[in-house]
Amino acid sequence: MSAPMTRGRVAIIGGGIIGLAIGWRLAQAGVAVEIFERGEAGRGASFAAAGMLAAGVESEPGEAALCALTRHGQALWPAFAAALEAASGIAVGLREEGTIEIALTRDDAARLRHSFDFQRRQGVALEWLNAAEARAREPQLGPQLAGAVFSPHDHQVDNRRVVIALRAAFLAAGGRLHERDEVALAVENDRAIGVRRGDGTLHEADRVVLAAGAWSAAVAGLPACARPAVRPIKGQMLALTMNPAAPLLRHVLWTPRVYLVPRGDGRLIIGATTEERGFDASLTAGGILSLLEGAWRAMPAIEELPIAETWVGFRPGSRDDAPLLGPSAVAGLVLATGHHRNGILLAPITAELITRHLIEGVIDPAMAPFLPDRFAAQPAAPAA
């Protein structure tokens, strides 16, 4: 397994929230760390996300290991946000009103009750609300309401502020950031020796961390054995503008089709489609329609609000929706990718686990279920 490394150099491919968080923690620990980002740091999925820290209402049957990681990750967020704000001087907008998930019809209510029962069995603290109780918490909910669940620990953070703060904290701690520099992995004798930069020069490193999100599998120079099973999953989103003095919504709201996330500055984020379309970055009429219609059915009052922005992001989806964390089939190459819809939520725990692995050479028990080799043993389909 990997030898402990106290003074080695680390190169990180990818300057999204995962690369920046790992870089910041490494730089804080005194490691010489450089981040190589093909575009602008924090401008990919990290910027497109909604910033929900929803370990509770997102837990699904069959994802017990992921659920344990997301709940562990959620618990780290308050301290992580405080440390980041102190290091960067930038407020990251952690809001702690919790999440409400609503049912609009009897069928929705049956489905919501089904997941409520499952999540409660997993030990998630949840409260069932009837329509009147839900409306007491969020008076702008529409007339059609068949029940709701309140999740007191599923909060939100302003992910755009988080990546801006991480960038500042990383640089302040002594890390070096190279933007608009698309690099290839450099491998020699089956070992990662650094990254090959756009201008052809070799940047040597003792360890390379692959944290390139949806683009991870496409990084040049990756041997096939180390290519992560990660694909882009397209999401269309939009933001409306509320009056910040009298916002329509205070909690994060999950409806049967969309979620709504109210920011402190009045932005109301509505997301997101889930599309298997490769890197197709087009906004579509159907996509925007489904977002607006889904939001409007839950809160008709949104029809008065101006549209501030529309955008597309690419979640880095792995086969089992769980991240790929830890050593790969190539010595010296460590993966931290495939976070799917949990990249913001899992950034602190990922930074902690990967940093410990790089510095102390340990594989934390919390990381063991997410080692990248878990897909290697099983082919996708039987040979026909």
Residues that bind other proteins (CB under 8 A): 60-63, 118, 217, 227, 229-231, 275-278, 280, 317-322, 375, 378-384
Write the CA distances from 103 to 37, 67, 92, integer angstroms.
Answer: 42, 23, 31
Exposed, middle or buried: residue 132 (CB in 10 Å: 0-12, 13-18, 19+)? Answer: exposed
Residue 296 makes CB contacts below 8 A (sequence gap 6+) with 302, 303
Shortest Å, Cβ 356 to other proteins: 26
The H or E element containing residue 22 is helix 17-28
Q: What does DSSP say about strands 324-327 and 52-53: parallel, antiparallel, or unpaired?
A: unpaired
Shortest Å, Cβ 180 to other proteins: 24
Residue with token string 């906004």: 283
Handedness of CA 299, 303, 308, 314 (dihedral sign): positive
| 184-188, strands of its sheet edge to edge | 184-188, 191-196, 202-204
Question: What is d(CA 115, CA 147) in angstroms, rounded to the nearest whole number?
Answer: 13
Please check whether residue 281 is in contact with residue 312, taking contact to mean a CB–CB distance below 8 angstroms: yes
Shortest Å, Cβ 315 to other proteins: 12
Please check whether residue 253 is in contact with residue 52, taking contact to mean a CB–CB distance below 8 angstroms: no
Nearer to other proteins, 89 or 278 (CB): 278
Shortest Å, Cβ 285 to other proteins: 14
Shortest Å, Cβ 105 to other proteins: 11
Nearer to other proteins, 41 or 291 (CB): 291
Nearer to other proteins, 155 or 340 (CB): 340
Nearer to other proteins, 98 or 316 (CB): 316
∠ at Cα 194 (33, 73), nearest 5°? 50
Nearer to other proteins, 33 or 230 (CB): 230
Nearer to other proteins, 44 or 266 (CB): 44
Shortest Å, Cβ 194 to other proteins: 24
Question: What is d(CA 296, CA 258) in angstroms, rounded to the nearest whole number?
Answer: 10
Nearer to other proteins, 124 or 193 (CB): 124
Nearer to other proteins, 42 or 73 (CB): 73
Nearer to other proteins, 1 or 377 (CB): 377
Neighbours of 261 (CB within 10 A): 26
Question: What is d(CA 314, CA 335) in angstroms, rounded to the nearest whole number?
Answer: 18
User: In this structure, what token pair is assigned to residue 261?
Assistant: 């996330």
Shortest Å, Cβ 101 to other proteins: 17
Shortest Å, Cβ 238 to other proteins: 21
Shortest Å, Cβ 296 to other proteins: 16
The H or E element containing residue 348 is helix 343-360
